[in-house]
Structure 1
Amino acid sequence: MAEAALHTETTCKIRHVHIECPICLSRFTDPKILDCLHSFCLKCLQELIDKQNPKTDIIICPMCKKETSIPDGGLSGLLSCFFLSSLIDDVINLEGQKEDINPPVLACEGCDEGLEAVSRCVDCDANYCKTCLENHARLKAISHHQIVNAVGSSHVRPKDKDKTETQTCRKHTDQELCFYCDTCELLVCLKCAVFDHRASNHNLSEINDSIRSYRLAVDEALQKFDECRKQFQKVDDSIKHSQRRLQLMVDQALRDIVAKEEEEITKIRNASRHFQERVTQIGQERGKGFESIQSSNHDKISRAEQIVASVNDLMQHADNFELLDLKPKVMHNLDFHKELQFQTVQHSKSFIGFKGHNIVTDADLGEILEEEKWEVKTEFGKEGEGEGEFKFARDLACFSNGDIVVIDSTRCLLSTFTSKGSYKSTGGQSGTEDGKLIQPFGFTVTSDDLLLVTDGQDVKVYDRELRYIRQFRPTQNQVEGQAKSLLRGISVDNKDRIAVADCKRKVISLHNMDGSIISTIHHDDISSDCFLSISSKERLVFTHFGKMNLVCVDFIGNEVFNISTSIDGKPVTPYGVFCDDAGDIYVSVYCGGWGINEIHHYDASGEHIGCVARGLYAPLDMTFTPTGDLIVADRHSVKVLHRL
């Protein structure tokens, strides 16, 4: 019964998936193959032509709409799909077995009554009813004979059909096909080879050699398709990134518009609504453009995968002779990879912003920014040792209320300023001995406004008032003979996971807020001037001053990219690095002198987008404010840049 169930399930699946014509939805009758590798009944194709145009010389596939030329002899001249015909025969055999699960009734060979045999004597090879069997045993004294149940002993499964059976030549019907002519792309027999294909320009090979070469060619074509699929994935990831960034920028622009509306609520309500609609419209139009390109790329890869699926199905199920018959069409269909070109999107189209005007009328609320440009909005601080002055402003961070805190690594202190640059307070030199900064380098702010500072071997924690709270040491268990740790860059993500770079031990350690370690990543490009940032994509991005490169690794340590930083092909030295909410990367670079340095913009995959700011004195690290401004530690001052 289990075997019967298996047959029923298998034949049902085959019937519905493989051997039903897509036009008549019945089993194939004389199946023919079109150039697109789809198969249909000959009668169905003829009816299709009669309905469309009986005089046409092409037939359009009803499934994929691809055209196939009709041979001079009509539709019957199309290649027959022998493997489908063979598959139908196999299904019929299986269904016959299903119906023949109960063995036939066997007649007794010992009497003339035609009674049903219930047992068989194996030694005598005869079937007997119960009465005759007893008489047979007494007469022959065959109690030692082996007696078995006759029912079920005669059921023999049919032999499976051999897919590799030989075929005869159509021209010389007494000859087996044994060669393949690559020049004529035909299977030939020995007589054909001697009389019709013996010229020097005919390339004959044995069938096994030809099928081996054929399969290699198919494998190479499929490998090229895999390369196309990888290229598609790269382009698709880039489009998705631009879509995410566009949405973030649209959201930020809408928030800016609402903020300006609240400032001038009585005058700007109508204009505000207009700008919101326009920003949304631009976002939708560009988003539709992204979706259209993405949809086009998906369609291309989908059509290609359909062809590959058809080829793979053919390669698995067809026999060698049919494969060689179909070789021209298969290889022609596999040439699609040459035409697979995936469209990309302009990264600049993912930007949209809003600039409010100082003097507002009912018709002049501001302007929509469709291209990303930056300018210095505010600058504060100067060289010195007084309040609000800096000897070496190396790093900075921003609290949730917009206050800016700057670290002066030469003076070993922290200073807090308002969002407009007014000095508020200083910390890091007073309080307990543990709270004093000795060798500060980098720092960052958590979601609840705790300030984390790397200081030698320790990470020190301060509150918003710059009061010391505690500290932890990322490398607590020193190994004898191992270099003493020296902490440099530090960053925290939106889940308050802390990443710390140790330039002596060449590791980046990932921690929870309590200091417990999550993982440790080793990388040779962690330098003594290593600035570090965590991307929203759960990646670590850091710079190497000496090698002039920008490195990105995931949380496991796999390298995502490692690129040289340059301007017009000339290497430049990277310093600070910061990732925005969309995953884009901003890098400060030293161009060879004071006052000529820049900040560059990269996308999440490491592609250079453009220059954000030029003419900076000596930009080191940077961060973003809650309102989207970019603040830069420029050695002796702090500059606040905003989008124009």
Structure 2
Amino acid sequence: MASNIKKSADFDEQNLEASDSEGGSFQPKAFCPKHEDQILTFYCDPCQTLVCVSCTVVEHRPGDKHNPVEISSIAVKKKEELQKQKAKVKPREKFVRAALNEVKMGLSELSTSADTAIEQATAYFDHLMAMLQDRKEEVITEIDSRRKEAGKCMETQIEVIEFELAGLKSAAEFCKQSLEHGSDVHVIEAEGQARQRVEELLAMPTDLTARPSQVVFSEGMAVADFRDDVARAGCVQVQHTGRVDASKCVVKRKPAVVAFSSIALLYTIGKNGHRCSVDKDDVTATLTDPLGQAIPTQLQETGMGLWEISYTPEVTGNHKLEVKINGRSLTMYPYDVRVQSSHAPVVTIGTWGLCNPTDIAVSINGEIAVVEAGLRRIKTFNTNGDSCRCFLVDGKCPWGIDIDSNRQFVVTFLSTGQAIRVYSHDTILFKTLRLDCLRNPTGVAVLKDGRMVVADKQQKSCLLLKPDGSFIREIGKGQLQYPWFIAVDESRDRFYVTDCRAHKVFVFDLEGKLKFSFGKQGQNEGELECPTGIRVDPAGNIIVINRDNGHLQVFDPDGMYQRTVATVKRGCHQGIALTPDGYLAVVCSHRQWGCIELYRYK
């Protein structure tokens, strides 16, 4: 075998030399790094190494571990692979080349657009300065005019006062002369004249009130406020205007409910496949109801290439939304927008595929997290119902959940050594709190400073804990029968706990004092029947759901009934949560399976 390889190598070497001597394309010979006088003529496939003839005799002898093959046969395969790689690169190369041309074109237009922007900015601020200059001249003219008016008024007043003063002096002088030089007869006659003159002078006194003596300039607008307004004057953006491709633009419809403000999201996409800005005048959105009547819409760009189309439908049913950019429709047909009753769920998440869901919480960015007790896991969704992520939790029977200000998941467990577990936003177990003071924790609420309020149905009380799980105080002992879920209103220094057996909501302050309770057992509006889930809206209103009849009701901060949002008809109901964009999420379950339903909340 070795001799055959040697002969083949000699033959290839001769052919290479002949090719070079015959004027073929020059290919430099590659020598073996271990045997410097030997040319690399073989390829050991298991080692993926080029070798020479001497290597095939020693280090790479043919056998189980080595298989030297002539370079020419391997080269054919490698050329085929190179052709495949080349074919893979071609489309991307074409796309990148087009993008490069697009950027070069944009670069060539950059100076022109910047010069135009400078001209516009110059004209804008020149106009502002001209307005200020005009106002300055108006104010100065007005100051001069007011000075003249006030001066004339005061000059007239001086004349009147001087005239009265002269009369008074004359009367006084007459009396003086009569007293000093008059005879008795003269005095008697003068007294009557003087009395008449004085009475006339005193009967018509001159207005001696001082007239305005100063012209004062008032700013009318604080310099600091004006400075802030000036700082906001003019906005500079880098836009890809004019490169939008209507065929690539996308509209995402949000759930719509009658009589509620609803939105659809428009993404304006450029020819390069990226979001780009468009002039507002180039975008139109037309919404029509089932009868073909136009519904007013508003367009607002909330980010680069992201628009909100807002509207308030007045009737239920299938509406049509048509969006045009530069007069061109985004699709061949308008988008369907289904408008539902305010008492109907606008989104159903999980579609009865959640295993024994119990509690729910929403993060500050709108991520919905639900506890699946049956599968011992936490699953998260967005408000469109799209699944975001899922992770298992350690321990049996997870039950309550809340999300703290650091977006950590705080989970209670009914039967795991009275544990509370905290998972990071990245779903990693951060800490485990095993507390002797807990027996059977259900609901949990986390305060802004990290303290926790936990309901314990076995102890029939709530516990206020430090962030590290240290006990602070027990609340509600002897007052609660079966505490379930908790909502906190820190602005009022109080928290609310549902009591499933008492059919009430109890309200305590964080010092442990019972403020009041509300609720009457019954099936009517405003009555409670095994209340479970509870939340507080930004205005302090209390939202409560009844486990069995599904009444989702709103009470004011003092516990007075306000309205019923909906009657949730699916199964029994546990935790509820309020999303930042105005939806109420309700956990529904039936025979170990369940879902999440979202209702519009105003």
Give the TM-score normalised by the residue count of structure 1. 0.39
- Which has a greater percent of strand? 2
Q: Which has the larger radius of gyration?
A: 2
Which structure carries more relative contact order (alpha carbon 8 Å, separation 6+)? 1
